[in-house]
């Protein structure tokens, strides 16, 4: 059975809820506009009691729309916080795996063997420096013989 990620599930549920709230807010806005238009028509027809009823309904729908939009905004904030939590968790898992890998690598490395190889390398590079210095001296001597004292640099 596949283990489900609780943060991902929560993010998905909150996102769905946010989308529903936004759609409902859009419907409330449409209802508000409709009720406002009905109130305007009733006012023109001098039906003030009916206009008052439609105006009250328009005010209720406008308040409902504002409430729904604010709830959707809060849901979006929660979604972003869940994303940050998921990212932090994933980063910490990656770092833990890297740390375990480094521990395993450090246990498998024989430091004495590594130091002896490094010392051997340093000794050989010193021998190489001495040999290259001797070759330079010989080359300089040959050029002095060929070109004379002025032929050198």
Quick: pLDDT tens for 69-115: 999 999 999 999 999 999 999 999 999 999 988 888 777 777 777 78
What pLDDT shows up at residue 33? 97
Cα–Cα distance measured from residue 82 to residue 15, given in angstroms and rounded to the nearest whole number? 11
Task: Tell me the average pLDDT across 135-147.
Answer: 73
In the chain, pLDDT over 90 holds for what percent of residues? 59
Check if the beta carbon of residue 54 is closer than 8 Å to that of residue 42: yes
Residue 46 DSSP symbol: T
Record the tokens describing residue 124, joined without a space. 């050989």
pTM, two decimal places = 0.60
The CA-atom distances, in angstroms, between 81 and each of 5, 11, 89, 148 are 16, 9, 12, 81
Cα–Cα distance measured from residue 90 to residue 83, given in angstroms and rounded to the nearest whole number? 11
User: Which comes out higher in pLDDT, residue 2 or 136?
Assistant: 136
pLDDT at 142 over 80: no
């Amino acid at each position: 059975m596949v283990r489900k990620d609780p943060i991902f599930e929560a993010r998905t549920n909150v996102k769905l809820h946010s989308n529903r709230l936004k759609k409902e807010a859009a419907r409330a806005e449409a209802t508000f506009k409709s009720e406002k238009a009905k109130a305007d028509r009733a006012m023109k027809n001098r039906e003030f009691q009916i206009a008052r009823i439609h105006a009250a309904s328009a005010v209720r729908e406008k308040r409902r729309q504002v409430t729904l939009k604010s709830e959707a905004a809060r849901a979006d904030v929660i979604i972003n916080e869940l994303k940050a939590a998921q990212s932090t968790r994933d980063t910490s898992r990656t770092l833990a795996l890297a740390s375990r890998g480094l521990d395993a690598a450090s246990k498998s490395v024989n430091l004495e063997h590594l130091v002896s190889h490094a010392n051997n390398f340093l000794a050989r590079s010193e021998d190489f420096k001495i040999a290259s210095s001797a070759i330079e001296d010989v080359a300089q001597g040959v050029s002095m013989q060929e070109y004379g004292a002025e032929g050198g640099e």
